Structures are given as C-alpha cells and as structure tokens.
Amino acid sequence: MYSNFTKNNTTNKVILFLLIIDLIFISIDLILKYLSYTDPNISVYDYEELRITTDLSYAEFFQYFKYLVICGITSYLIIIKKNHYYASWLLVFLILFLDDALQLHENLAVFFISAFNLKPTLGLRQQDIGELAYSAFIGSILLITLAVAYIKGRKKFKKTSIDIVLLFGLFLFFGIVIDMVHSFVDYSRSLRYIVGIIEDGGEMIVLSLLTWYFAHINFRKKKSKAYLYKSLYNKKIPFLGI
C-alpha cells in the first residue's frame, strides 16, 4: 500500500526536501545544546535564530513556508479544479498559519482568561488554561466547518479527509499534548529541553508530511486509490460513508 505513495517523482522530491531541512534544523539545535554543555564560552542564547524552539527562528519561518504551500495547493484545488470542499481545509491551515505568525494563541489566551476568569488548575498555569480555552473555541468552529464539508463532499474527498485527519491528529498531539507535558517539566532544564525538542521537532516533521500529502492530492492520478487509512484499516467504514 505504501508503495502507491512513492510512484510520483515530484512528491518524492517534496518529502525528501522537507524532511532533510527539518532534520538539519533539529540537528543544529541538538549540536548547539551539546556545545553549550561542553564549552562554557558557548551559549545557545547567542544563536536563537538557529534553534527550533525559538519564536521567529529560521525553523519557524520554514514552518510558515509549509503552511503557505498547503494553502496554495488547497486554493488551486478550489479555484482551478473546482473542488470547493477543500475550502474547509484551507480555513484550517490558514488559521494555523496566522496563529503561528501572529501568536494568536498566546495573545487571545489573555482575553479568555479575563473574560471567563480562568484560574490555574491541575498543575497548569493560567496561560495554559487560556490557551486551551482558545484552542477549544477555534477547534469547535473548524470542526463544524469540516463536518459540513465531509457530509456534503464526494467519496474521494471523504477518504482523503480521513487521511488528513490522521496526520493532523498527530500534529495536534505534538502541538497540544506534548506542549502541556512541556509545561509540567519545569523542575528539570535537561528534561524540559528534551520535551521541547520532541514537541517542536515532531510538529516540524508532521507538518512536512501534511505538506507532502497535499502535494500528493494535487499530483495523484484521477483513478488513484492510495489512502493512508487503508494501510491501518483496509475495510469499509459505513458510519463514515466510505
């Protein structure tokens, strides 16, 4: 089944390029951290733009690039190929791009904290609770939009959307679950660094996989029946309409 995704040279080059750049950024961060431990004259804070855990670093701008590529592909699918159901996915990744670029989850978390008088609980900081509230609010809107598109969409769009949901769920795992774990481990700088690398490195790699998958959607043959979810569950799923 996986061999069906490796037959297109264009998408092969896409995923290879993205993953190589991801691994370079991750490796640079690890090397800088190692050097800072072994040489007191070297500080990772002197190379913040090279780290993957820093805002407005080169790695973060590379993430922006992936978001824009996905938005570009979905726009092409909507406008040129007249598949308007992909507007729901365009909205998802456009919001994610704006959220990352403008730090919406951090800034709007303050609004939710004030509006609903949110308090620290279960070991989570007030800021963490506010960000979860923001994520739940935005997530609910996007979920409704995706559900409507899925119900009305054609069978091929539904199957493709299930694949995207699988990858997107993995992306959210690193972005939300591992991020929450990250906030709990402030008692150990080394452990906090490792969790931070897993969080941001995981997000980078999964977003590369998402970018590759959207490229696959665009370049695949019309009769292609290659779907990721079938590799996990190769049976009909009646309640999903496929």
- pLDDT for 87 equals 97
Closest by Cα among 210, 216, 228, 176 to 93: 210
- pLDDT for 225 equals 76
Rounded to two decimals, the pTM is: 0.90
- pLDDT for 55 equals 84
Residue ranges of the chain with pLDDT lower than 50? none
Question: Residues 191-207: pLDDT tens digits?
Answer: 888 999 999 999 999 99
Give the whole-angstrom CA distance, residue 143 versus residue 167.
Answer: 15
Structure token digits, residue 110: 């303050």
Cβ–Cβ under 8 Å, residues 160 and 217: yes
- pLDDT for 89 equals 97
- pLDDT for 123 equals 61
- pLDDT for 1 equals 56
